[in-house]
Structure 1
């Protein structure tokens, strides 16, 4: 339906800015027709790894109408989380874990959803329309839609790049039954730059604009449930939750002002550079206490301990030996296996001694494989 209100589109943008959104753009619901085709190809190649829900809900994700047939327009929105400090500065700090910038503060799902709902309530009252709000937990192709709405373009790292916010935007969307005048789509401005491609420690980009999630550190440390494949462990370094490398090296970040970032994403001191020894000592209750209110809480204690053990094995820090060895008896097999690997990296002689006394009693095949 067409609403006879002068410049409703401009008022939507103004209200979005008032609510703290750093970017707002409008697109027709059918403005990203190739997104579904690319999704199907990506899934067919198995590049989604363990993210089975991508396959199960592909018919909803491939187009906005597949999720909600009544949708006519998309309001694409972005919240800035531009960091004040260089996310790569802790790369050589072996005793600490590196957490991706987006997860160092409040849970962006909650912050984004509150802001989207506030804008949605205002729009429903102003225009009398039906609408739905979506954060990235819903089967929505936020990045192609954001590009179609003029927020930026999908860069060679496959994330959205903005001329004003660089690679630091959380994306959300409002689907509406309104016929809104669309904005000019974003245009690719990556040029010949390959910074994000060469920065990836695990070669997760088989080609520009393509991502193999199975090789991505963010996937491996967050989504992947089992042992991290050996070929990627050294490349992970001290990253214990996510990876910022391909985002952090983007030249367009120079236009992203950290002062404009939403205050809800200000980093919590205990999540900026947590000590690996402290992380390795966490039980389930301790994990939930430390990461309360953070998106990190979703991965659970066992995955986090696994990740911290990989970082410990890469640290070369003998002071972590006791913390690592204590986890050789952990009830979680994914933790025990990672502890075996970390111990071997830190002290080969101790590894041999522990192996001779433990291998006969170990029943799990994955842990036995770590003992060789």
Structure 2
């Protein structure tokens, strides 16, 4: 083999020169080394790769620095990670498409069912299990205290000239009242309303009358125990239903009904359930101020209640309420739905008698006069007797 001098610029030049058959100088093995190893021929590299593997590793790859190899490995890892993420995203898209196709084929009940398996319904345990019966009810006291409300009485006061309009309106709204479990107790006409004591808010004067010659004067006013007002009494089991009827009725909701007057309305709560069918006379008493409540209760309230219960055919004090302006529906106080002939902060009582004669017999009893003397010392009440009649026969 002929020696040929040459300047070696790279390992590639050396490899090419060796393949052409030239002799490699001894100085190259010392100058052109990688990791202190002498360069090897292509046949040696192929032998290290083993059989079955194509290609050989060139000397250019061996001559690269470790930094170049690290950079190439990082680039290769990044490409592999991006390829892996792309494959995973493609797999996820395929799964979602398959799931949506299955959802479209399922029924609505199966479509919105949970994806995790559940136990059969027959194997599920009840959320609440009844405790063992040991003869003790912790809610018994609350059930006794939470008794249903006995009901309410609506008293509507209007002028006697509007009795025909009121009767016509009752014919129209009778079915609505009965559907709400209400009942029309009756109407007390002006001659059936008697002022027993007090009565400043019940006495009204007549209209103006022309006497001729340009002279005008007021007609004669009613006597002390008469009034120009009539009273309509309606029973309702619920205050909400009573207010809905009064506010929504086509006639009574008008503020100038009966024309040209108006209708005052107050709702009174009952203390106990009463059969209002057979109670035809109501005695309404208003106590604007009581100076000594204990004296009033011991000397007047308790004795008169026992007297009415034992000696007269009556139901004493079915209503004991106050006319305090309050919005809490749980408080059993009088509700002024429109207008008011009762003063605020007053105490209101209602007693029921079988007839007007029975009420007069009670007020003329000598024992009642003794109790009334004690009442007059601490209060100045207003007592009105209302004799109810069947509104269909008017």
Q: Normalising to structure 2: TM-score of the pair? A: 0.22
Structure having the higher Rg: 2
Structure with the largest fraction of helix: 1
Structure with the largest fraction of strand: 2
Q: Which has the higher contact order (CA 8 A, sep 6+)?
A: 1
Q: Normalising to structure 1: TM-score of the pair? A: 0.23
